[in-house]
Amino acid sequence: MSGYTLTYFPFRGRAEPIRLLLADQWASWTENEVQTADWFSGKCGLKKNTVFGQLPRFQDGDFDLYQSNSILRYLGNKHGISGSNNQEKALVDMVNDGVEDLRQKYGRLIFMEFETGKEKYITDLPNQLSAFEKILSQNSNGTKFLVGDKISYADYNLLDILHCHLDLDPNCLSTFPLLSAYVERLASRPKLSEYLKSEKRNKRRITPKHQ
Ligand code: GSN
C-alpha cells in the first residue's frame, strides 16, 4: 500500500489541522470516512482495532499512526516543516502544545458546557489568545510564522483552532492585529485557499455539535 490515508468521522475536528498541512504541502491523500453510528455500534470493528480506541488514524503506506499531534509532528518532520534546528523544533513543539491546551478547553466548552459556559468562555478568550499574539510579535514582528522563517506544523494547528474560535465569536480577533493578519495571510496561500474554499471541506461541520 502506498500513499497517505486519513481515517476520521464526517466532521473537521482533530483531522482538520492534518488536512490543512497536507493541502498546503501539495500532498494528496485518501479520506476514509467512518460514520459515527457505525463506529459506536462496533459494526466495522474499527474502534477496537485502534491503538487508543479513537480517531484520527493516519496511514503512510504500511505505517500506521494515531494521536493527532503525533501525526502532525510526523508530517512536519517528513515535509521539513518542524523547525530548522533543535531550538526551533523545541519552540514549534511548545507552541503546538499551547494550541493543544486551547483545543482541550474549546472541546470542553463545545461538548460539555455549551449552554452554560459560552458567555464566560468568550469573555475569557482574549486571555487565551494573547499568548499567541505575543509569540507572533516576537518573530519578525508578527509578519511571518509562529517560529522562524518557514511555516511549521504548529501553524496549521493554530490556524485551525483560530477558525474554530472565529466561528464561535466572529469578533474574537478584533483586538489582535497580528493574529488577524496571520489568519488572512495563511488562508491566502494558494493551496490552502483552494482547500478552504473546496466543497469537501465546507460540507464537513466543525464538530458533531455544529449544525
Ligand atoms: O489527538 C488525538 O488524536 C487524541 N488525543 C484524541 C482523539 C479523540 O478525541 N478522538 C475522538 C474524536 S475527536 N473529538 O471529539 C474520538 O475518536 N471519539 C470516539 C471515541 O470512541 O472516543
pLDDT above 90 coverage of the chain, percent:
94
Same domain, 95 and 18: no
Nearest CA among 197, 190, 194, 185 for reference residue 155: 185
From the CA of 54, how far away is ligand 1's center (Å)? 5
Residue nearest (by alpha carbon) to ligand 1 atom 9: 54
- Asked if residue 208 is part of any domain, the answer here is no
Q: Return the SS3 of 148.
A: coil
CA–CA dist 47, 102 (Å, integer): 26
Neighbours of 200 (CB within 10 A): 9
Under the banding of pLDDT at 50, 70 and 90, the label for residue 45 is: confident
Scan for cell 493578519, then name that residue: 181
- Residue 182 pLDDT exceeds 90: yes
Per-residue model confidence (pLDDT) at position 42: 85
| Ligand 1 atom with the shortest distance to the CA of 66 | 3
pLDDT digits (tens, 9 = 90+) for 54-68: 999 999 999 999 999
pLDDT digits (tens, 9 = 90+) for 191-209: 999 999 999 999 999 999 9
In short, whether 68's Cβ falls inside 6 Å of ligand 1 is: yes
Same domain, 58 and 135: no
Same domain, 143 and 183: yes
- Residue 211 pLDDT exceeds 80: no
CA atoms within 13 A on the CB side of 197: 8
- Residue 166 pLDDT exceeds 70: yes
- Residue 47 pLDDT exceeds 70: yes
pLDDT digits (tens, 9 = 90+) for 13-44: 999 999 999 999 999 999 999 999 999 998 77
In which domain, by residue range, is 45 found?
4-81+195-202
Per-residue model confidence (pLDDT) at position 1: 57
Same domain, 94 and 63: no
In short, whether 208's Cβ falls inside 6 Å of ligand 1 is: no
From the CA of 85, how far away is ligand 1's center (Å)? 31
**Please, are residues 141 and 134 in contact by the beta-carbon 8 Å criterion?**
no
- Residue 144 pLDDT exceeds 80: yes
| Ligand 1 atom with the shortest distance to the CA of 50 | 17
Scan for cell 496549521, then name that residue: 156
Residue nearest (by alpha carbon) to ligand 1 atom 2: 67
Domain harbouring 39, CATH code: 3.40.30.10
- DSSP classification of residue 194: H
Residue nearest (by alpha carbon) to ligand 1 atom 12: 55
CA–CA dist 158, 42 (Å, integer): 33
From the CA of 6, how far away is ligand 1's center (Å)? 14
Angle formed by the axes of helices 16-24 and 153-168, nearest 10°? 130
pLDDT above 70 coverage of the chain, percent:
99
pLDDT digits (tens, 9 = 90+) for 87-107: 999 999 999 999 999 999 999
What's the number of domains the chain is made of?
Answer: 2
pLDDT digits (tens, 9 = 90+) for 66-90: 999 999 999 999 999 999 999 999 9
In short, whether 47's Cβ falls inside 6 Å of ligand 1 is: yes
Per-residue model confidence (pLDDT) at position 2: 66
Same domain, 49 and 76: yes
210 vs 89, which has greater pLDDT? Answer: 89
In short, whether 152's Cβ falls inside 6 Å of ligand 1 is: no
